[in-house]
Amino acid sequence: MIKKTVEKALNDQIKAEFDSAYVYLAMSAHCESVNLGGFATWLRLQYEEEMAHALRLYDFVNIRGGRVTLQALAKPPATFGKPLNIFKEVLKNEQKVTGLINKLYALAIKENDYPTQVELQWFISEQVEEEKTAGDILEQLKMVGDHGASLHRMDRILSKRGLEQQ
């Protein structure tokens, strides 16, 4: 059985993952509206990943005999500016999520909750990857600057996300 302190923290993390998902979907909608279909595709897949993270924690709470309680989600902005600004926000968001996961892990240690520690190790590795990916795209966007042709080439590259393994 899961302790109430850990259950509450996991429920808060479920909300944080859904919030992330919602922000990425809003970013995707913004990119669709400015004809950056590749960026929109990449962000939509990121939305799906965040939904999967939320549901992974949702299932974990249930498996442990805890109670999932869903919370109201934050309203995301409608516009996000240029791709460079979007990816600054993506990286910032991932760094924020990393901080939350680390705090949650520290709580699981404090509460001697070993199963939660094992579950969170997957998330810790995932965050390393997510920060790296967002950081790499951000660096590329800094190099591209306002050069339209290069931006469209990046848009084409990002449109291929999810096709790599097929």
Binding mask 121-140 for ligand FEO (x = CB under 6 A): ---------x----------
**Contact between 31 and ligand FEO (CB under 6 A)?**
no
**Contact between 94 and ligand FEO (CB under 6 A)?**
yes
How many chain residues interact with ligand FEO (CB under 6 A)?
Answer: 7
Residues whose CB falls within 8 Å of the CB of residue 65, separated by 6 or more in sequence, listed in order: 1, 2
Among 23, 25, 40, 50, binds ligand FEO (CB under 6 A): 50
* Rounded CA separation 149/114 (Å): 51
82: DSSP letter: S
Phi and psi torsions of 161, nearest 5° = -55, 135
Comparing every residue's Cβ against ligand FEO, the nearest one is 53
Residue 15 near residue 61, CB atoms below 8 Å: no
**Contact between 119 and ligand FEO (CB under 6 A)?**
no
Any idea how long the chain is? 166
**Contact between 89 and ligand FEO (CB under 6 A)?**
no
Q: Could you tell me the smallest distance in angstroms from the CB atom of residue 152 to ligand FEO?
A: 26
Residue 154 near residue 38, CB atoms below 8 Å: yes
Q: Where along the sequence are the contacts to ligand FEO (CB under 6 A)?
A: 17, 20, 50, 53, 94, 97, 130
